[in-house]
Chain A
Amino acid sequence: MIDLSTFLPILMAASTPILFAALGEMVTERTGVLNLGVEGMMIVGALAGFAMAVATGSPVLGFVAAAVAGAAVSMVFALLTQYLLANQVASGLALTLFGLGLAALFGKTYEGVKAPAMASGPLGLNWVIWLGLLAVPVIWWFLNRTRPGLILRGVGENHDAAHGLGHPVRRVRIMAIAFGGAMAGIGGAFISIAIVLQWTEGMTAGAGWIALAIVVFSNWTAPGVLAGAWLFGGVTALQLQLQAGGANVPVQLLSMAPYLATILVLVVISALQKYSRRAGLGAPGSLGQNFHALR
């Protein structure tokens, strides 16, 4: 009943924004920083990217601007948590609220404006979709096979030990926060430039929160993030496609499924904590804790 050649593109498009945002957040959390501001950074990226794409007529420049803007607002969070040692959960929530408000304020002039058309890449899919897929093995390789990647993970597992070994804990974290912001910005811009093709206030509609759930679901691994993004994006696309095809599906059950899966993964991870930690699974050891060298 479902034609894969029409369904797969819809799935890929639906999962790309959360894939970018979740990859960025995963890397950030791997350094021990919990940034709940993903939604805020996404919406700022969505607006900045859209504005730039409209101003220059170039979607490519739009995505670049989105990455820069996402990274820029994430620096507010970095300043609060890394220099002023503010609580990460509160600062992240504040960043989300700040981003939503900021984008709404500056977005007023872009309401009703249409985005320039994007050239499609290989297989008729937007090239940003391919870029997202490419980012998965690259990030996996970086985290597992390179020295900077191992330092990054070391900082997240035990910042005191990393500091003792002479690694610049704060600098690593700030760079990871900026990376997370840039990725969230690109994810947000994908919604405004490639999916919806216009700017509307609040258009990310909770995608940032889903990205946060995916990071947990992924068990803080890049392939896991891809699986999670496809599961969340896939279920959305699938239930819409099934409905359009005339099948009578229990929509609520399907919409619930990815969240149930996330809870299940959490339960399994904590139930098998002894084994999962040995296998390198589970949350980074210093997640959510601020670091101060003099402590």
Chain B
Amino acid sequence: MNRRELIASVAAIATVSLASPVWAQDEPLKVGFIYVGPVGDGGWTYQHDLGRQAIEAEFGDRVETTFIESVPEGADAERALTQLALAGNKLIFATSFGFMDATVNVAAKFPDIKFEHATGYKRSENLSTYDARFYEGRAVMGTIAGRMTTSNKIGYIGSFPIPEVIQGINSSFIHARKVNPDVDMRVVWAYSWFDPAKEADAAAALIAEGVDVILQHTDSTAPLAKAQEAGAIGFGQASDMANFKPSPRVSSIIDNWAPYYIERVGAVLDGTWESKGTWAGIGDGEVEIGEITDAVPAEVKAEAEALRDQIGSGAYHPFTGPLKKQDGSDWLAEGQVATDEELSGMNFFVEGITAQIPK
């Protein structure tokens, strides 16, 4: 194919995708995904890919899915999204916070293609956002952590200081303190979603400081491997990480994207798709708590499961007052519950955490 033909065919594909707003039912709906890590990360991206497979299982011949993995956050994301758009995908999922601006830009260029961006907050006519209330799961993990620590030091490996991660740190800490007033939390920022060697080093640094329960908001299983070596415990993150059962992985937060993905693909197929923001949690089945193993005493397990059910039924919100901010100023009064706006822009630690959020 010479250059002129190539340009012509690219233009043709672009024209076709721009000029056919109504979905023809006879050929399969093409659905594209971009992932921030490799499918085999065993965590975040792995779960999104399970969601993609669930779409194929649900709709069979009516859909055709493709994905591009390990897409760096930044300019490359824009190229990958454009590539998916030009390849005829009618619904495109961008599955990392850092893809936000790239997705906004590409969505503006392809008004007839529907975009879905995970964990972001910028929406438009053809761009929806969806997120999971991970902090609900963190509350359960925090409870187990507070009960299980013997050194009264728990550690948290954060990825980037963004609201989603800060919510998790605050929620874990609040609930660890609730069951164990002496607990102290150490926070280490890895500045990466996926860097197994660095995550392992971060876990080693925490363990050297006397931490014996490690929570993580990074995507690899490396911190669990390190915890196992040192006799500490930890939790599966994003995925069940069942290989590390029964210890060091004593429980896990599982992101179950399948119901949402199936719902959205279904909406495109029957023409009811519209742009919206979704934030689902334990009650919707989007956040699941993985099996709590026998390494945890029965009463702690029961306590954690009770909390999970209370959150799931809506009877309890993990951010319920009285709560103060780190600087000692009042945040939530007795019985007051944090609003979604407050949570989605959360940029402060709660009272009692000694670490500072990097500026």
Within 8 A of A (CB), among B221-239: 221-222, 225-226, 228-229
For the complex, give the distance between the alpha carbons of A153 and B40 in Å: 43
Pick the contact of B196: A13, A104, A203 (CB < 8 A): A203
* B87 on interface, CB distance cutoff 8 Å: no
Which residues of B have CB within 8 Å of A6? 208
Q: Could you list 19 examples of A-B contacts with CB < 8 Å?
A: A3-B208, A10-B201, A14-B197, A104-B38, A196-B222, A197-B229, A198-B221, A201-B41, A202-B194, A205-B198, A240-B201, A243-B187, A243-B205, A243-B355, A244-B155, A244-B188, A245-B186, A246-B354, A248-B358
The answer to whether A112 has its CB under 8 Å from any CB of chain B is yes
The reply on B126 being an interface residue by CB < 8 A is: no
Binds B, one of A75-83, A250-258, A259-267: A250-258
Q: Give Cα A3–Cα B210 distance, bound, in whole angstroms.
A: 12
In the complex the two chains form, is B205's CB within 8 Å of A108's CB?
no
Residues of B within 8 A of A202 (CB): 37-38, 70, 194
A-side contacts of B211, CB under 8 Å: 244
Q: How far, in angstroms, from A17 to B226 measured CA to CA in the complex? A: 17
> Which residues of chain A (50-97) have a CB below 8 Å from chain B?
none
**CB-defined contacts of B189 to chain A, threshold 8 Å:** 243, 251
The minimal Cβ–Cβ distance linking B282 to chain A, given in whole angstroms, is 26
**Pairwise interchain contact A244-B206, C-beta atoms closer than 8 A:** yes
Please report the number of residue pairs spanning A and B whose Cβ atoms sit closer than 8 angstroms: 118
A240 close to B220 (CB less than 8 A): no
B171-208: which residues lie under 8 A (CB-CB) from chain A? 186-192, 194-198, 200-202, 204-206, 208
Find out whether the CB atom of A196 lies under 8 angstroms from the CB atom of B196.
yes
Q: Find the residue from A14, A107, A111, A243 having the highest chain B CB count within 10 A.
A: A243
| Cα A134 to Cα B186 with chains together (Å) | 36
Beta-carbon contact of B243 and A205 below 8 Å: no
Task: Count chain A residues whose beta carbon lies closer than 8 angstroms to a beta carbon of B.
Answer: 38
Contacts A111-B40, A200-B42, A201-B40 supplied; 12 other A-B pairs, CB < 8 Å: A13-B204, A111-B42, A114-B243, A195-B197, A196-B225, A197-B222, A237-B201, A240-B202, A243-B205, A244-B186, A245-B209, A252-B358
Choose among A10, A14, A191, A200 the residue that contacts B38 (Cβ–Cβ < 8 A). Answer: A200
Closest Cβ of chain B: how far from A20's Cβ, in Å?
13
List residues 94-148 of chain A with CB under 8 A from any CB of chain B. Answer: 104, 107-108, 111-112, 114
Seen from chain B, the residues whose Cβ lies within 8 Å of a Cβ on chain A are 37-42, 70, 155, 186-192, 194-198, 200-202, 204-206, 208-209, 211, 220-222, 225-226, 228-229, 243, 354-356, 358
A236 within 8 A of B: yes
A-B pairs, top 5 by smallest CB distance, nearest first, are A201-B38, A240-B205, A6-B208, A197-B225, A244-B205
Q: How far is the CA of A200 from the CA of B70 in the complex (A)?
A: 13
Interface mask (A30-43 → B, CB under 8 Å = 1, otherwise 0): 00000000000000
Contact between chains at B155 and A236 (CB < 8 Å): no
Q: A240 contacts B188, CB within 8 Å?
A: yes
Tell which of B38, B42, B356 touches A248, judged by Cβ atoms closer than 8 Å: B356
Interchain nearest-CB distance for A172 vs B (Å): 33
**Shortest distance from the beta carbon of B232 to any chain A beta carbon, whole Å:** 13
With known contacts A198-B222, A240-B205, A248-B355, A203–B197 Cβ distance under 8 A: yes
| Contact present for B192 and A10 (CB under 8 Å) | no
Pair A114/B225 contact, Cβ less than 8 Å: yes
Question: Which B residues are CB-close (under 8 A) to A3?
Answer: 208
Partner of A246, one of B40, B197, B243, B355: B355
Chain A stretch 8-38: residues in CB contact (< 8 A) with chain B: 10, 13-14, 17
In the docked arrangement, what's the CA distance between A179 and B341, Å?
A: 57
* A189-245 residues at the B interface, CB under 8 angstroms: 191, 195-198, 200-205, 207, 236-237, 240-241, 243-245
Whether A7 is near chain B, meaning CB under 8 Å from some CB there, is: yes
Given contacts A205-B196, A240-B201, whether A198 and B225 have CB atoms under 8 Å apart is yes
Known: A198-B225, A202-B194, A240-B188. Contact between A251 and B220, CB under 8 A?
no
Q: In the assembly, what is the distance between CA of A236 and CA of B202, in Å?
A: 9
Specify which of A17, A107, A196, A241 is in contact with B40 (CB 8 Å cutoff).
A107
